[in-house]
Structure 1
Amino acid sequence: MNQQERDYLDHNLNGDFMPSVVPIFPDGLEIEGMSPIDRETYYEYQCPDARTLLAALDSEASMYKLPVNGATRPFIFRGQKEAHWKLEPSVFRGPSKGHREKDVDTANRFRGHVGAGANDYELQPFLHFLEGIDRLGLFLEDESHKLLDHFRSKNISQDNFFSSSSFDGFDGKLRFPVEKQLRSLALAQHFGIPTRLLDWTRNPYVALFFATSDILEINSDVSNNRFAVWAMPQILLEVTAKFKFLKVVEIPKFQNENIVAQQGLFTSHIPAFRSESGRSQTLPASKNNDRFPYLDEYLSDCAGDELHQELLDKLKGKPLCFTLKYNEIAPIRRKLDQLNITWASMMPNLEGATKEAVRRSAMQNYIDF
């Protein structure tokens, strides 16, 4: 934001000329009889039952209404199988259970990334993905094609094309990803490649499906576990993007039926190590300086900017996190089936039909608690 834009915003805030800048959730909005738990960087609503969660996400729910004139405020949504999971991009998480990986210390990975732009762990899978896309004859963004061509030009044999040694001396990695690569990176994220992006949807029921789709068996050991649906006020993303790096990434929907069905989009809050002009950039860090911040932490941190803080104070904006116990999942499944939100509709192809068949078979022994 340049100085002229800052002056304009400051004038309008102090002059009260911005009627749209009203508190999103004054003092923690009560929703469907639930008062939130203030988790500092977000509000958690612990839903007592499925009916309450479904009512909270309904289009007529109070969270969508502005407190002044009843106009609606847009949100984007994200579902997570475990309520305790953080808003952390997949490439920065520790290795999954049973997965063997040399660099299992995420703090060391973070220090290597921030200190020297050592992000090969993200770049390698992405290059594999680009190579596969190109072999299929599918469209690649120009900047992603240039990145792939750079490695091909090294005359590296196919056997070690993506080995760690092939990254030695590659100055391009310090500028990865440039803005024009984000759409290709989002496509890779959508199909399961770990990236710095977080995936979201504009449809709360799609988020609800992804929060619950992998919960296939419930017993007494897990019945009290909670899943989560995050609701992110879009204005909070817009405000953050005015003051520091934040991108909302949309993938072209042409010939991408999954994105259309899922109403998907992505956020990026971790910038490249260097800007596209080649200048070093300060990367965000947690309070302990041992990892990148979770998205909710990033959105609440004004980094000492008084104008940014003033706007956050006026908005009182925080993400919302609705949680529900696994033992309340049966009514959720019935509602999603009624809405035809299944793997077959989220992935309208043979892969989706197969995943739905497997899911339904796995649920034959489903037990309600």
Structure 2
Amino acid sequence: MKTKTIERWSDFDRLVGRKHFRKWIFRGQSCSDWPLKSSLHRAFEEAQCIHKLKNGNEKNLNRIEHERVMIDRFKCNAHLYLDHLPQSEDLLSWLSLMQHYGAPTRLLDFSFSPYVALFFALESGEQDAVVYSINHNAIRNDDDEYFGKNRLEIYSRILEPTGTEDDPCLFAFEPTFSNQRLLSQQGLFVATNTLDISHEQILNEYDIQDTDVVKIVIPAKHRFEGLRKLNKMNINSSNIYPGLDGFCKSMRRQPVFGLEWQKRVGNEL
């Protein structure tokens, strides 16, 4: 993939300003060295590492079965905490709900907004951050050419309970069962049809142009100005995470911005 390191914020605006809305999707990560891996993929890697530390050997994990049990456990217990749930057969919406509440899934969060993705890149950490910019239309077109008329059938088999023998692919989708946070973040998800390799490994196998995937690196020295830029655009925790929890998260940046940014207007009376 193509890598661009910004030298000033106008560079970022120029890079993302040329991307057609909804044809391009964006993901921010607070460390530029982190690859594109789902939380479920990382959970399997961590489990294997722990087993290897114990006896010197990695454990052979049945990843499909582990995922099936996780989904089943969530579906059986979610009603204890939530009043509104997806239809039982809508597994992608169930996965998106699991992702929303922090369960490990095969999904990666993306946004149609490059500036929402930038917020996620800058909301935590002190190192170089990154925003991934991906032309998901180019990915879909390559799948059309590779799988032919079977593309939609391939996508529909993403959650086959016994796994599939289909070649690896990525599938971008907006769940039919949405929520307020997803709306605020202009969010969508990218799923894989395999649990054996990561999103980034699959992405690198696509026959698309280098310019269809751009890794925009934000040097650590630009974090402060980036956060100020986003706050002026009203992109902050209060709006990205609707509710009291988001409002409270926004206070984490108070020491960064200084008191003059936080005091209530008219409070001097």
TM range (shorter): 0.7 to 0.9
- 2:8 maps to 49
**Aligned residue number for residue 159 of structure 2:** none
Identify the residue that residue 280 of structure 1 maps to in structure 2. none
Is 1:250 aligned to 2:174, yes or no? yes
Partner residue, 2:112: 202
Residue 266 of structure 1: SS of its match in structure 2? strand
Alignment of 1:1-369 (within 5 A): 42-57=1-16, 59=17, 61=18, 64=19, 74-93=23-42, 104=50, 108=58, 111-113=60-62, 117=63, 119-120=65-66, 122-135=67-80, 136-143=82-89, 180-215=90-125, 218=126, 225-242=127-144, 243=147, 244=167, 245-252=169-176, 256-271=179-194, 292-301=196-205, 312=208, 315=209, 318-357=212-251, 359-361=252-254, 363=256
Match of residue 306 from structure 1: none
C-alpha contact 1:209 1:336 (8 A) present in aligned 2:
yes
Amino acid at match of 1:83: S
Mapped partners of 1:80, 1:260: distance in 2: 20
Indicate if the aligned counterparts of 1:187 and 1:251 stay in contact, CA closer than 8 A: no
What RMSD, in angstroms, separates the aligned Cα atoms of the two structures?
Answer: 3.1
User: Partners of 2:14 and 2:192 in 1: how far apart?
Assistant: 31
The equivalent residue for 1:155 is none
Q: Are the structure 2 counterparts of residues 237 and 230 from structure 1 closer, same or farther at C-alpha, using a change threshold of 3 Å? A: same
Distance 1:240 1:52 in 2: 29
Alpha-carbon distance in 2 for matches of 1:328, 1:296 = 26
Q: Distance in 2 between matches of 1:352 and 1:364?
A: 17
Task: Determine the structure 1 residue equivalent to 2:151.
Answer: none
* 1:57-90 deviation per Cα after TM superposition (whole angstroms, max 9, x unaligned): 2x3x3xx37xxxxxx8820000000001111111
The structure-2 alpha-carbon separation of the partners of 1:364 and 1:235, relative to structure 1 and needing over 3 Å to count, comes to closer
Letter in 1 for 2:193: I
Distance 1:317 1:105 in 2: 40
Amino acid at match of 1:246: L
Q: In structure 2, do the counterparts of structure 1 residues 350 and 200 end up closer, same or farther at CA, with 3 Å as the change threshold?
A: same
Distance 1:301 1:105, change over 3 A: farther
Q: Equivalent pairs: percent with the same residue?
A: 25
In the superposition, the TM-score normalised over structure 2's length comes to: 0.74
Q: As a proportion of its length, which structure holds more helix?
A: 2
Report the Cα offset of residue 330 of structure 1: 1.4
Q: 2:180 is matched by which residue type in structure 1? A: E
**CA positional deviation for 1:301:** 2.1
Q: Distance in 1 between matches of 2:189 and 2:22?
A: 19
- Pair 73,142 (structure 1): closer, same or farther in 2 beyond 3 Å: closer
| TM-score (normalised: structure 1) | 0.55
Which consecutive aligned stretches of 4+ in structure 1 deviate over 3 angstroms post-superposition? 100-103, 105-109, 122-129, 315-318, 361-366
Which whole-Å CA distance do the structure 1 matches of 2:118 and 2:65 have between them?
32
Distance 1:104 1:258 in 2: 34
Whether the 8 Å contact between 1:227 and 1:326 is mirrored in structure 2 is yes
Q: From the CA coordinates, give the structure whose radius of gyration is larger.
A: 1
Q: Describe the shift of the 1:207–1:124 C-alpha distance in structure 2 as closer, same or farther (beyond 3 A).
A: same
**CA–CA distance in structure 2, aligned partners of residues 209 and 83 of structure 1:** 14
CA distance in 1, matches of 2:142, 2:98: 25
**Which runs of 5 or more structure 2 residues have no equivalent in the other structure?**
148-166, 260-269
Shift of 1:125: 4.3
Shift of residue 128, structure 1, vs aligned partner: 4.3
Q: Which has the higher contact order (CA 8 A, sep 6+)?
A: 2
Partners of 1:105 and 1:363 lie apart in 2 by 41
Task: Confirm or deny: 8 A CA contact 1:241 1:247 kept in the other structure.
Answer: no
Q: CA deviation at 1:316?
A: 5.2
What is the deviation of 1:118? 5.2
> How far off its partner does 1:248 sit?
1.8
Amino acid in structure 1 at the alignment position of 2:189: F
Partner Cα separation in structure 1 for residue 248 and residue 141 of structure 2 = 42
Distance in 1 (alpha carbons) for counterparts of 2:83 and 2:177? 18
